[in-house]
Amino acid sequence: MNSSRVWELLGALGGVADERSVAALDLSAEEADELGAAVRELVDSLLERCHVSHDHWGELSEAVAAAVVASGEDRYRQVHDRGGVLDPADWRWQEADALLGLGGSGEEPAAFVLQWITEDLPDGVSSAWSAGHPTSGSVLPDGTVMDDDPAWGHVPAADPAWSSAVAALLVDPDVARARETVGAAHGASYDQVRVWLTLTDTDEPAITLWVDDGGEDDGDDGGDDGHEDDVEVVVVGTYPAADLRGTDVAERTTAYVEIVGGLLHVVAEDD
């Protein structure tokens, strides 16, 4: 499900997410799964930029964020870009868990992941990486050599510019089309295609495409659209950290969007 379709369905809620408006969407099981995954991405991105006042944390914070998502694309983008405090009194969040409950209940992986694998960070950026942290090319005690396979997990990093970039990427139609193209080449849907961007002390950018088909083929081709249920496609881009040092938040936001969009464009053309 591409971003245009996501916002079309959310617009059909009439600005309010409750049991009646969500049920009126009349979604198939597959559509519910895909819309639910998209909603969770939007909610997570919003809560990276905003916090909910009056001690409404946890599930209530998610419900308030879901109410913002239900208000439509323009309002969502305004609130996300502004950041800061969300007052529950401003939003009809009481039944918004009907939107959060769409599709599977498991935690969905993030569509876009940032890593800074260097100790020389721009102002405002933090990273869990340190010089002793094993990275791609490291030899582990058992002799295993690490690579950039996402199965190793990622090193958490935080940057307000990344939060803004992700919000833009999630609603960018060119990015959505590229994710669809890459996914289609590997039997995956739009929301099964993820991008990991790694900034590190390298001289040249590099791209690696990882496809996980979930194990052995059991003969089931997934849904009626030919998408495999268990496939996951991850585009891993390694980029010179030096190119983003000395940048401010606005400059890094633009750079992140351009780099991720470029990664997807290159892989989509190759596929």
Digitized pLDDT (tens) for each residue of the chain, 271 residues in all: 888 899 999 999 999 888 888 888 988 888 888 898 899 889 888 888 887 765 434 457 788 899 999 999 999 999 999 888 888 888 988 888 888 888 754 455 678 999 898 989 999 898 877 665 556 555 555 555 555 566 656 777 888 899 889 888 988 889 999 999 999 999 988 888 999 999 999 999 999 998 887 654 444 444 444 455 578 899 999 999 999 999 999 999 999 999 999 999 999 998 7
> In the chain, where does DSSP find H-type helix?
3-11, 19-23, 29-49, 59-70, 73-82, 97-100, 160-170, 173-184, 249-270
CA distance linking residue 271 with residue 185, whole number of Å: 6
- Note the maximum CA span of the chain: 57
pLDDT of residue 138: 57
* First and final C-alpha spacing in the chain: 19
Determine the 3-state secondary structure of 209 from DSSP: strand
pLDDT of residue 47: 82
Long-range contacts of the stretch 208-214 (C-beta < 8 A, 24+): 208/148, 208/235, 208/236, 208/238, 209/182, 209/233, 209/234, 209/235, 209/236, 209/267, 210/149, 210/150, 210/234, 210/235, 210/236, 211/186, 212/151, 213/187
Cβ–Cβ under 8 Å, residues 144 and 150: no
pLDDT of residue 106: 47
> How much is the pTM?
0.57
Sheet strands side by side (includes 193-200)? 112-117, 193-200, 232-240, 206-212
